[in-house]
Structure 1
């Protein structure tokens, strides 16, 4: 339910693309960042179709991650119940 193996982002392939500017900003503030060409992406985050990434490239932030909230909530509810907690649903306004 918790993954901290990095985040990848890219921008549209048009004049509004700001990936280079964002990358430079992240570097300037000391954020862990890498600007990757589409062909380099598979080396850091497998499973991404390089053809889906704009020619300007993508930013990879190794320290980022995500939480699968439904899985985490299920885990917490099971633990809560296992410790004697009682969940009351449809109890009205709180």
Structure 2
């Protein structure tokens, strides 16, 4: 197995220089299921929630999470994202939303 570049001889973690590294195309996927009462889901899908467009808020939160991933993962360099998609699929029969 190859040696980890971000661990020095003393076993201490440090940030490595990646400036000479070639740009690569990568794709990541994540999903979550939010289960709720069917009445609540219907209200959200119909856009009748008293706090506004719940799906728009969730979409913005997901985009912000992708943009700030490098701040949450130790020793991760800033990520140059070219696209972030946050699809949603409501499943009223199952009383849940898939993100």
TM-score range, shorter chain: under 0.3
- Structure with higher helix content: 1
What TM-score do the two structures reach when normalised by structure 1?
0.27
What TM-score do the two structures reach when normalised by structure 2?
0.26
Higher relative contact order (CA 8 A, sep 6+): 1
- Structure with higher strand content: 1
